[in-house]
Amino acid sequence: MRQRFLLLFCVVLLACGGMPAYADEPAKSLQTPASERTLKEYLFGSKELGWADLDWETDLYYSNVSLNIPLDGSPIPTATDQGEFEIYSRLWLNSLVPRFMLVEASVMPLPLAGVALKEYAKDFYGIADIGRNQNVIQWLTAGFEEPYAFSVFFGDMVKFNKPGEERLSSNKGYMGYLFSYSNQHIQNNVLIPDHSLEAEWKMKGERSFKDEKLSWSFRLGAKVHENPNIANTLYVGFRRSNLDFRVNPFEFLRNSSFDVRWDIGAKHGDLLRQEYVLGKKFPIKSWGVALKLDVGVIWEDPSRYSGSLRDTSASNFTLVLRPNIQF
């Protein structure tokens, strides 16, 4: 277990610490001194390599690096003034015959930290207990079931561009078919050996500009586990997030997010898991960042796990508490 976790820790360091080596956005001069680059340019960005686009994102909960590769040699098209539904329609038609491939490696730093604390700092972890069945550290890390994953996407892509503004991150929209693999499963901040494979149809996008940032995701898929004590599931998920520096920070709908997911057992068709998360953002325009707090709840049916993994004393409900900073 100790050697395995050291390996995972190295993955985190590579994901979070190695990304600055790529921090040259295509819209900026390659001669820009490192001292003049902003923190955001190191944490998030996109670089055109000629044969592919390299994107990276660093976050407390989900950090990733990916390659966007054209399958037919054509460049990724750019959208400027098109509305959302017009973009969705075009992506839908083009995704029927995939023109692009995306290869991604992702890691979940804070959920991994929760695993480490429970394994190597049990006394400290126990201080965070609330009653018999709740733990504050688990609230902070809930909702992420793999410590890392490797994914391949086939479908259509589009770049978002706003005249007069540089692209501040990947600024892309995707629609198509995603396949993901991991060899570990997180249950209550404990690593469980499990080779899992996900296959899903996914629509995802991010439009990030100086005054407004919008991201969205819809997915419909299935997840298969090699571990016989973890139920195979079908799932559907929705997520939407908006940040606007131009409006009152307390205007709810313009600076908020929501995330919903339902998991249904593949064997009996019963609802095994529900996740509901609402987020509120408080933009600080002078800093170009926003303070963010997500709050929600996750419900799991005990039958999701069987054998040695079933814990009849555990609560069916887990609170979700995710403080973060959005750049």
Look up the domain containing 205 and give its range. Answer: 2-255
The answer to whether position 145 is within a domain reads yes
CA 60 to chain centre: 10
More confident: 23 or 256: 256
Predicted confidence band of residue 17 (pLDDT cuts 50, 70, 90): very low
Domain count, the chain: 1
pTM (predicted TM-score): 0.83
> If you average pLDDT over residues 258-269, what whole number do you get?
96
* CA dihedral sign, ordered 299, 301, 306, 310: positive
The answer to whether position 284 is within a domain reads no
Predicted confidence band of residue 101 (pLDDT cuts 50, 70, 90): very high
Q: How far apart are CA 293 and CA 306, in angstroms?
A: 34
The answer to whether position 322 is within a domain reads no
The answer to whether position 264 is within a domain reads no
pLDDT of residue 197: 98
Residue 234 confidence (pLDDT) above 80 = yes
12-16, 68-72, 189-193, 240-244: range with highest mean pLDDT: 189-193
Q: What's the length of the chain?
A: 327
Lowest mean pLDDT among 9-18, 98-107, 211-220, 317-326: 9-18
- pLDDT, the chain, mean: 85
Which segments of the chain does DSSP mark as H helices, in order?
A: 2-17, 39-43, 84-95, 109-120, 122-127, 136-141
Q: Taking CA 284 as the corner, what is the angle to CA 205 and CA 19, rounded to the nearest 5 degrees?
A: 50
Q: pLDDT, tens digit, for every residue of 79-99?
A: 877 666 777 777 887 778 899
User: 């404990």: which residue's tokens?
Assistant: 190
pLDDT of residue 279: 96
The answer to whether position 271 is within a domain reads no
The answer to whether position 246 is within a domain reads yes
Q: pLDDT, tens digit, for every residue of 110-159?
A: 999 999 999 999 999 999 999 888 999 999 999 999 999 999 999 999 88
The answer to whether position 86 is within a domain reads yes
Residue 255 confidence (pLDDT) above 50 = yes
The answer to whether position 196 is within a domain reads yes
Residue 30 confidence (pLDDT) above 60 = no
Residue 34 confidence (pLDDT) above 70 = no
pLDDT of residue 171: 83
